[in-house]
Structure 1
Amino acid sequence: MFYFVPSWYKQDRKWYSTALPFYLQPKNMMFDDAVNLLRMFQQSGEANSVLILNYSPHIRTFFYQQRLSSDEIWNLFDSIQGLTDVPARKIRLDDLKWPQGAEIFYTPFIVDVYVDHLPHAQINFSQIGNIFDITYFENNQIDYQLVFDDRGFVSSIIYFEHNQPYYQDYLNAQGIWQFREFLTADNQQVIISPEAQGTFAKDVYQNIEELVKEKLEQHLASVLTKDDSIIVSADVQHNHFFQQIKKDHLVVLSFFGNRYPITNTEQLFSDLKDTPFFVVDSLDKIVKIAEQVGEVEEEQLPAYYEIPPYDTQLNLGHSQRKKELIIYVNFDTLPEHHLQYVFTSLFDMMLQHEWIDLLVGTQSQDFGREASIRQFLEESLSSTKYAEKLLLVDKDKAAKSGDPRLEDDDSLRERIDTVVIHSDTDLAKALKYVRVILDLGSPADIRTQIAGISGGIPQVNLYNSSYVKHGENGWIMNDISNLREALLYYLTDLEHWNQSLVHSVKRIELYTRGEIVEMWKNTIKELKLNEQN
């Protein structure tokens, strides 16, 4: 059995749910190494289980959105709340009871309930239309909030004082609180209900992490056999939970993106102690580690394998269906010293090729980020040479009349647009009609590269990576002066674009055929044979 420990955590409240109402977008992209590995192991039919360590009342919705099976989930909070076998049911607005004379107001995002012209309740909905939470008010202040499970019942209640969270009661299936977590700056204690104390080692815990550690250790002690392996998404939040268990079981750490501070070499060597091998999403991480520790200490590292995570669900783009040839530029990774050259080159190409359009994207959630990018573009377009020919998309007009790029009869077609990427879905949507991706980062953005491969879109980069291979699914430039040649290679010849598409499909097929899973199994088998010998 393979056990997977993902790193799907909330930044400001470490062990709380990451789920949000449907109208809010997570600040972090959710596709990662855990999603990638789980898809591969589930598709291969290999026995696996997912250990969810944080409070996750909407984990089944998340698995559905990521096209993962939720059959083999061990949810730590469900376990200690007694919610492991609760059937799902649908709660409708009509099922909710309100005081006599209550007025209900429907908006595109929430439902407000007023009593005697004062706010009484506010209802949020989940990504799939279920009730997400209900906040109740008393004297114009928040009184308490019901947090719903995606199976259709109240999972916990947050009580407020002076409009601030005071404590949270976690409930069982009968609505009886099992433990209480205090949420103030000077008190994070967890108190166990007198009726539930028989299943806990202590009556009072210093914080929720102490309780999580206890219950995880109990679960692993009860289910693990000597042949089981644990694949841990490397994260300082939970790595220490698995230090002791390494002595008797195989624990593999998987490093992805910027989740783990690999520059903290003391932490790194501590986490990798007694680990037979570890996994990286890109060899760039090994290079960075080597730069930090030097050759002597690098030799002390365990073996490593490079397994770039791909979104194995092909979501091929449709750029060949459009007259416009859209270049997607990742603004976040553009070196500042290349900015002017890159956009001058792009604008000149657009003047010479009237159907080349530009989409400039950012994943930054900083306030005003898109506005600053648009200001840069407007300033770059201010010369007479460009101002009379190239226009930025008017966002207000686009919102009213649709995509201005479709207005082929307009002699001054708006050909330059910007987009803010909040989620994996946003990224896939932005790339749907893109002909080529331009990312000059060192390294290029991993999530953009993954989405590009899933969409079969060729990518132009300035630095080598594990995702883009020159002449196969993209062009690695020797120098920035090759920019025009590289882009036109894919923009002016559909055959080159098709070749890139074929290579992307082959890369993803490598994962869906189960070859990577077999590599994992064979590696672990060899390690265990070596231990026996």
Structure 2
Amino acid sequence: MMFDDAVNLLRMFQQSGEANTTLILNYSPHIRTFLYQQRILPETVWNLFDTIQGLTDVSVRKIRLEDIKWPQGVEFFYTPFMIEVYLNQEHYAKINFSQTGNFFDITYFEGGQTNHQLIFDDRGFVSSIIYFENDQPYYQDYLNLQGTWQFREFLGTENHQVLINPEAQATFAKEVYQDIEELINEKLDQYLTSALTKDDTIVISSDVQHNHFFQKIKENHHVILSFFGDRYPITNQEQLLTDLTDTPFFVVDSLNKIETIAANVDLEQLPGFYEIPPYDTHLNLGHSQRKKELIVYVNFDNLPADQIQYVFTTLFEMMLKNEWIDLLVGTQSQDFGREAYIKQVLESYLSLKPEYEQELIFVDKEKRARGENRVLDDEEEIVRERIDIETIHSDTDLIKVLKYVRIILDFGTPADVLTQIAGISGGIPQVNLYSSSYVKHGENGWILEDISDFEEALLYYLTNLEHWNQSLVHSVKKIEQYTRGEIVDMWKNTIKELKGNEKN
């Protein structure tokens, strides 16, 4: 997930000068690139796999294609993010690159089947090798900087053992581990025992993948769970009660989560909770009032499946009645082909009426990048493109996308918190189906009683600038509530109150 409470909380704490350390427990050979993109200092990160692979004081270097040993006679065929390698007209290897242009992995083939795969670290070395048997992953060797394997993880459906290289045995408690989780648990316990002080508090981005690793440490330290988005199955009563055992309190990104939890679990069985936004606001008011176009932003990811056609055909009708209403559809999904799928969905609804297809034209992004306008072949008239689709890769991306948006539609249950915070920062009124702490009816948005009322809400803001300005004023007031400093203070004061109660 590109949007995560941990990432944004770390960024806010670092920018506020608060001491913190990030624990990376999963195998992430490209984590440094991600941290750089998220503006998080790598010096404050403890990487578990770096520790067990013996990677310390690693200098960054650039690997070039000629640094890899290739047999005589190989041919390279280039695409933007991949190179196919052939030897004697047979597929020999496939090279994948990361978004930054570094080697990501190289897969080697033999006899038409996958033989092995090199996984690269973004610092410029081979981090691990996956060996295949019958075209299926068999085991993975994790290497040190000299290329010597430190431990071997078996990847079969029945065998998940981890075997330690005898040459590296001194740093491990066992020769063979039942699975990778047992090894992670050992090394995490060692680190926490040596690194934590009695005043330290651990904040966990709650996930069933790793919550159980921190059960033991709860005996001597405060462990706080943060529930964000759909990352954790909050409707699983047994799992939730287990994970929150011996936890002083937990944090949610929206009180809507508490309503969902209360439907499955008696809240009296749980510790206290706080709503703390995972994103901070910035005074970054949009410029939609400077444009004649009235851009309506729709969060596609949150549209109820049975209402998608109704929402878009209603918008299309409004666009036909008002030539200056434009549509911007956004998605935070990073799935390959997501934009193409959304366009296909919209095209299926546009085909329902000839007027839709004639008047409501998609933005041609290639021509826009070249600064060209779309012109119909059989007419001289320039046609204004009125439908656009954008993939949101980061919170800063979303701020840019919303710069000229006049109103936001998010019909999620609940609405996306990132979109709500970005909408507040931009002073943009928001139309939602469910109330939240971030959008209040009649203040900075409209809470619908039924989705069929959304046209009325749109017209309220699109046809009366006074209503839009009133929403802007309320948004500016909310910006003050959710600044970086305010959110950091929420965390600090909550933890301070907890420790104060213990002393009393």
TM-score by length of 2: 0.88
Q: What's 2:491 paired with?
A: 520
Q: What's 1:24 paired with?
A: none
Q: Does structure 1 retain, via aligned residues, the 8 Å contact 2:367–2:373?
A: no
Q: What is the Cα deviation at residue 149 of structure 1?
A: 0.9
Q: Does 1:74 align with 2:46?
A: yes
1:83 to 1:472, Cα distance in 2 relative to 1, 3 A: farther
From 349, 359, 368, the counterpart of 1:390: 359
502-511 vs 230-239, which moves further: 502-511
1:114 to 1:318, Cα distance in 2 relative to 1, 3 A: farther
1:436 to 1:244, Cα distance in 2 relative to 1, 3 A: same
* Rounded Cα–Cα distance in structure 2 between residues aligned with 1:131 and 1:96: 11
SS state of the match for residue 299, structure 1? helix
* Rounded Cα–Cα distance in structure 1 between residues aligned with 2:259 and 2:158: 42
Q: What is the Cα deviation at residue 61 of structure 1?
A: 0.7
* Rounded Cα–Cα distance in structure 2 between residues aligned with 1:436 and 1:329: 9
1:81 to 1:481, Cα distance in 2 relative to 1, 3 A: closer
From 273, 282, 305, the counterpart of 2:274: 305
From 413, 433, 442, the counterpart of 2:413: 442
Which amino acid is the alignment partner of residue 358 of structure 1? L
Q: Does 1:198 align with 2:167?
A: no
SS state of the match for residue 71, structure 1? helix
Q: Does 1:354 align with 2:316?
A: no
Q: What's 2:293 paired with?
A: 324
Q: Does 1:401 align with 2:367?
A: yes
* Rounded Cα–Cα distance in structure 2 between residues aligned with 1:206 and 1:137: 30
TM-score by length of 1: 0.83
Which amino acid is the alignment partner of residue 78 of structure 1? D
201-210 vs 338-347, which moves further: 338-347
144-153 vs 486-495, which moves further: 486-495
* Structure 1 residues 456-494: Cα deviation after superposition (integer angstroms, max 9, x where no partner): 543211221233233443332345465334323443456
Q: Does structure 2 retain, via aligned residues, the 8 Å contact 1:370–1:420?
A: no
Q: What's 2:429 paired with?
A: 458
Q: What's 2:205 paired with?
A: 233
SS state of the match for residue 292, structure 1? coil
* Rounded Cα–Cα distance in structure 2 between residues aligned with 1:532 and 1:507: 34
123-132 vs 407-416, which moves further: 407-416
Which amino acid is the alignment partner of residue 162 of structure 1? N
Q: Does structure 1 retain, via aligned residues, the 8 Å contact 2:130–2:139?
A: yes
Q: Does structure 2 retain, via aligned residues, the 8 Å contact 1:370–1:419?
A: no
Q: What's 1:243 paired with?
A: 215
Q: What is the Cα deviation at residue 500 of structure 1?
A: 5.0
Q: Does 1:256 align with 2:228?
A: yes
Q: For residues 135-284 of structure 1, what are the structure 2 equivalents within 5 Å?
A: 135-284=107-256
Q: What's 2:98 paired with?
A: 126
1:221 to 1:375, Cα distance in 2 relative to 1, 3 A: same
Q: What is the Cα deviation at residue 263 of structure 1?
A: 1.1
* Rounded Cα–Cα distance in structure 2 between residues aligned with 1:38 and 1:100: 49
Identity of aligned residues (%): 70
Which amino acid is the alignment partner of residue 210 of structure 1? E
Aligned length: 496
**Unaligned ranges ≥5, structure 1:** 1-28
From 303, 306, 315, the counterpart of 1:334: 303
Q: What is the Cα deviation at residue 355 of structure 1?
A: 1.3
Structure scoring higher RCO (CA < 8 A, sep ≥ 6) equals 1
Q: What's 1:11 paired with?
A: none
Over the residues paired in the alignment, what is the CA RMSD in angstroms? Answer: 3.1
Q: Does structure 2 retain, via aligned residues, the 8 Å contact 1:439–1:461?
A: yes
Q: Does structure 2 retain, via aligned residues, the 8 Å contact 1:310–1:453?
A: no
